[in-house]
Amino acid sequence: MSVISGKSMPKDEEKEMEVTKHNSLIRFEGDVEYKDLAPVFSELYTLFMDIADQYPEDGGEEYMQMLIRQNLKDLKNNSKPTGHNREARYRMIFPLDVENIEFFLYPRIPEEESEIEEITSEISNFLDDNDLEHEIIWDEMEYLMEEKD
């Protein structure tokens, strides 16, 4: 049984209360710097594009390699990466003006078609495999957007 607001709840009712996750924030531990992501970024980005089923077909490979090179240049200089998959179904965004090293994963497709939980899980597993300590925070992007209005 789960406890919500101090009350126990049977498992079948718990399933009904599951909330769809809209986006994820992957926040790295305090000692991680942008340059620490450089050795794994190419593989991380390619994995993201592949599991989000948006790896480019004919001709798109050159564009993707250009994005990776541009981002690697920033990361190696210990700077926030700039260019990302702006027109894709899912996006990976490093926000501006944050204290921690972090990035959002979010869908640009209807909620019922989104696989953001699965994509986030695979990205998290990849980061674990590469000894990059991090936490996942769900739906933080909406909170930040509301806060700035």
> Per-residue pLDDT tens for 15-51?
445 567 889 999 999 899 999 999 999 999 999 988 8
Q: Would you say 116 and 106 are in contact if contact means Cβ atoms under 8 Å apart?
A: yes
Task: Say what the pTM is.
Answer: 0.78
Q: Is the pLDDT of residue 118 over 80?
A: yes
Alpha carbon distance 101, 135 (integer Å): 11
**Structure tokens belonging to residue 8:** 């126990």
Q: Is the pLDDT of residue 141 over 90?
A: no
DSSP 8-state assignment for residue 21: -
Alpha carbon distance 149, 127 (integer Å): 33
- Top pLDDT among 111 and 36 is at 36
- Please tell me the predicted confidence (pLDDT) of residue 86: 63
Residue entry with tokens 């994005």: 67
- Please tell me the predicted confidence (pLDDT) of residue 32: 94
